[in-house]
């Protein structure tokens, strides 16, 4: 996406002429390869801002003696390839494969982490975000040895008589760096120095908790590791902040040595959201044997209900449903409303329509309580969704998003937008459904765990199928199938088989579709 009108000219060090060797013939270590990947992302970012593209892709790339990645002059007009797909191709050029990276070194692990979000092809990952992802995975790029790579973050765009300095990366970094110079040379000098990293994260003298509240997750975790013997309350607060931002893996690191019951509940929730369902189930079994406060019981029951429904464990659902309603009665007020919402969600997962209605009616007061209103609206929408009442789903979720938008965590908001997409699809508004699923995917993109693949991208793939557009669908189905198989998600596996069948029918392969449907029926029979 261009910043405004397309540029009439682009100035960037990658397009300067000089001695260089073809990229494919360069002798590089893994860190140097990642530095070239970073420069490639920077080139894509400046060209996206300009509305230009690489005329011959990576084929014309070469490497100068100082490590600068160079290209022939670019061509006007936007490129026709998704940025993440282009970067995967560059990984293939640099590492010999864009799918499987052999080796166990830290640099190779970093590339594997980068490839994970770049594999989906339904929505573009902006090059500026890719730059942040690379720096997150490879912080060594701030070392003095990679000053040349950092210089690639600066360029110049010409639009008519206007000349605009361009800086790659997030908006905050762009604004801060532009305050340190007025020419390309001045900004390159800053980027080559030790100040560059501090400008990027603006993190000097900030504690772990403050960094986490600003969304600087890796820096926050590093700052945390420097803290000696933090008190239990601070440990829990930091882990909770990481959790709120969808950083479940990092929260688990912080919770590793904690022993509080609240910490154990949060640990189980992190495990669940990371798709480690058996570990989460084990954590919850231990909590069942502990004396929990009523509020702790509600928090644990919310996790147990979702987890046990996916695992088909009805006995565990019943035990926690009994406990949560008893705890709600003792709490009264918001606690009782919340308990009925948990019970309604459990009943919906079990297909107990009458019980859903009973608990929703008992929780009606939640509609006026901003802290829990979104849960009431979401459960109400699920009830309408089960009957195909798309208009009601859209109306109810519109209320939920208008009332609670500022209070929602990104993965909670993503769940509402995902359900809104389903409601729009039930209305027959497929373009609107696709927009909702795209937004859900954007919200989930910064969160750890498999839900981005098995929920947001899966539903995007389904809508694409219904609209007769097959691009990216098979890729998403393959990823979703692997994730659901890893966690033994019976319900997710059935959905995968159903969509596989529709995909095969779209390709004119009814026998393959029949095979997938047979597998889905077998799953359902095994689950009872």
Q: Is residue 169 part of a domain?
A: yes
Q: Is residue 197 part of a domain?
A: yes
Q: What is the mean pLDDT of residues 158-178?
A: 86
Q: Is residue 162 part of a domain?
A: yes
- Taking only the tens place, the pLDDT of each residue in 83-136 is 999 999 999 999 988 777 877 788 998 898 898 888 877 678 899 999 989 998
Q: What is the mean pLDDT of residues 345-367?
A: 93
> What are the structure tokens assigned to 23, written together?
């990229």
Are 500 and 516 within 8 A, CB to CB?
A: yes
Are 451 and 310 within 8 A, CB to CB?
A: no
353's torsion region: left (phi>0), alpha (psi -120 to 50) or beta?
alpha
In DSSP terms, which residues pair with 494 in a beta bridge?
none
Tell me how many domains the chain contains.
Answer: 1
Written as one string, the DSSP assignment of 233-257 is: HHHHHHHHHHHHTT-HHHHHHHHTT
- 48 vs 188: CA distance, rounded Å: 20
Strands 162-167 and 154-159: antiparallel
Q: Which residues contact 130 (CB under 8 A, 6 or more apart)?
A: 41, 44, 45, 83, 84, 87, 118
Q: Is residue 172 part of a domain?
A: yes
- Taking only the tens place, the pLDDT of each residue in 467-500 is 888 888 888 888 888 887 877 777 788 888 998 9
Q: What is the mean pLDDT of the chain?
A: 88
Q: Is residue 292 part of a domain?
A: no
Q: Is residue 405 part of a domain?
A: no
Q: Is residue 124 part of a domain?
A: yes
Q: Is residue 41 part of a domain?
A: yes
CATH code for the domain of 169:
1.10.510
Domain residues for the domain of 129 are: 9-201
């Amino acid at each position: 996406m261009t910043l405004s009108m397309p540029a009439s000219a682009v100035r960037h060090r990658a397009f300067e002429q000089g001695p260089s060797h073809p990229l494919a013939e360069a002798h590089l270590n893994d860190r140097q390869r990642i530095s070239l990947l970073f420069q490639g992302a920077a080139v894509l970012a400046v060209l996206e801002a300009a509305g230009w593209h690489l005329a011959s892709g990576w084929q014309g790339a070469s490497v100068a003696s100082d490590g600068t990645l160079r290209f022939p002059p670019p061509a006007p007009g936007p490129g026709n390839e998704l940025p993440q797909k282009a970067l995967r191709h560059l990984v293939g050029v640099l590492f010999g494969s864009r799918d499987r990276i052999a080796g166990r070194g830290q640099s190779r692990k970093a590339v594997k982490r980068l490839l994970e979000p770049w594999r989906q092809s339904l929505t573009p990952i902006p090059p500026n975000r890719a730059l942040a992802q690379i720096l997150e995975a490879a912080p060594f790029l701030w070392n003095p040895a990679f000053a040349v790579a950092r210089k690639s973050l600066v360029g110049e765009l010409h639009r008519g008589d206007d000349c605009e300095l361009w800086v790659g990366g997030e908006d905050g970094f762009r604004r801060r760096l532009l305050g340190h110079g007025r020419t390309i040379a001045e900004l390159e000098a800053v980027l080559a120095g030790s100040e560059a990293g501090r400008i990027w994260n603006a993190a000097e003298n900030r504690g772990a908790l403050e960094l986490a509240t600003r969304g600087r997750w890796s820096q926050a975790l590093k700052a945390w590791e420097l803290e000696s013997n933090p008190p239990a309350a601070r440990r829990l607060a930091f882990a909770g902040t990481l959790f709120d931002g969808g950083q479940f893996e990092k929260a688990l690191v912080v919770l590793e040595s904690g022993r509080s019951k609240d910490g154990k509940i949060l640990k189980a929730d992190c495990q669940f959201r990371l798709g480690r369902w058996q570990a989460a189930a084990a954590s919850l079994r231990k909590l069942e044997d502990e004396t929990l406060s009523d509020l702790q019981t509600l928090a644990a029951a919310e996790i147990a209900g979702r987890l046990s429904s996916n695992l088909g464990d009805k006995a565990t659902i019943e035990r926690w449903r009994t406990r949560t309603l008893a705890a709600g009665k003792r709490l009264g007020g918001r606690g009782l409303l919340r308990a009925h919402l948990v019970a309604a969600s459990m009943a919906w997962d079990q297909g107990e329509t009458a019980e859903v209605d009973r608990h929703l009616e008992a929780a009606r007061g939640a509609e006026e309580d901003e802290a829990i209103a979104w849960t009431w609206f979401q459960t109400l929408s699920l009830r309408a969704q089960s009957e195909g009442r798309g208009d009601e789903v859209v109306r109810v979720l519109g209320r939920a998003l208008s009332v609670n938008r500022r209070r929602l965590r990104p993965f909670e908001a993503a769940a509402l937008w995902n359900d809104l997409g389903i409601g729009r699809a039930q209305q027959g508004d497929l373009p609107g459904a696709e927009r909702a699923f795209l937004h859900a995917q954007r919200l989930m993109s910064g969160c750890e765990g498999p839900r981005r693949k098995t929920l947001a991208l899966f539903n995007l793939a389904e809508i694409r199928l219904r609209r007769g557009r097959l691009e990216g669908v098979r890729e998403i189905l393959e990823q979703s199938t692997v994730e659901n198989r890893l966690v033994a998600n019976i319900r997710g596996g059935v959905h995968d088989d159903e969509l596989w069948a529709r995909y095969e029918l779209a390709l004119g392969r009814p026998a393959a579709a029949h095979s997938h449907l047979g597998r889905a029926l077998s799953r359902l029979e095994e689950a009872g």
